[in-house]
Amino acid sequence: MSDRLLVLVRHGQSEWNLKNLFTGWRDVDLTEQGISEAREAGRKLKAQGLAFDVAFTSNLKRAQRTLGLVLEEMGASNIPVMKDLALNERDYGDLSGLNKDDARKKWGEEQVHIWRRSYDIAPPGGESLRDTLARTLPYYVQEILPRVLRGERVLVAAHGNSLRALVMVLERLSPEGILSREIGTGVPIIYRLNADATVASKLDLAA
């Protein structure tokens, strides 16, 4: 019986998370806290007795660095790593680089809330959560899921919204249900799948 193991981990705190800025596709690094969160994620996964055959991450360094630190803590830095922009964070368009409070002053609290929390309304020049799902899910179905179903143990280090796309499918959440789902920085979520790709078990390693 294979594990059919899939572990998702959001990158550790980034410099722009700390500054309360919309980040999106801007390529910012981890803070010291983010580095600690990534290392702690690796220690937690190692303590669970887990090992991985392959890892996937985005084209952005905060996710790549998180993955590298997790694997380093696990003594698994030599496994294959696949990088793809399909796993990038949601593109916030014209909001990218803006302080969230400044954006509220410019466009109003209600409008910014709609852009951040609606399922299908995108900020100017950016992506909605539905748009993010539209590029993340095909990649999951074509590249990640087949490996899990073959019995490979797979780790995905990505971003809050690209991971929501995967969580939405795995946990069969509605568009409304996924909007209220928070994914903490550096917190591994361990799934074991059935042969039909449904979830057999889930373990959230939040502290």
User: 2: pLDDT confidence band, cut at 50, 70 and 90?
Assistant: low
Domain span at residue 170? 5-204
93-132, pLDDT tens digit by residue?
A: 999 999 999 999 999 999 999 998 889 999 999 999 999 9
Residue 191 — φ and ψ, nearest 5°?
-115, 140
Give the start-end residues of each E strand in 65-139.
81-83
Active centre residues (catalytic): 11, 89
Number of domains comprising the chain? 1
14-71, pLDDT tens digit by residue?
A: 999 999 999 999 999 999 999 999 999 999 999 999 999 999 999 999 999 999 999 9
Where residue 45 sits, what CATH number does that domain have?
3.40.50.1240
145-188, pLDDT tens digit by residue?
A: 999 999 999 999 999 999 999 999 999 999 889 888 889 999 99
What six digits make up the tokens of 150? 């073959």
Query: In which residue are the tokens 């748009």 written?
Result: 131
Cβ within 8 Å of residue 34, ≥6 positions away: 11, 12, 13, 14, 17, 62, 66, 185, 186
Higher pLDDT, 13 or 179: 13
pLDDT at 54: 98
Asked whether residue 1 carries a pLDDT value surpassing 90, the answer given is no
Asked whether residue 207 carries a pLDDT value surpassing 90, the answer given is no
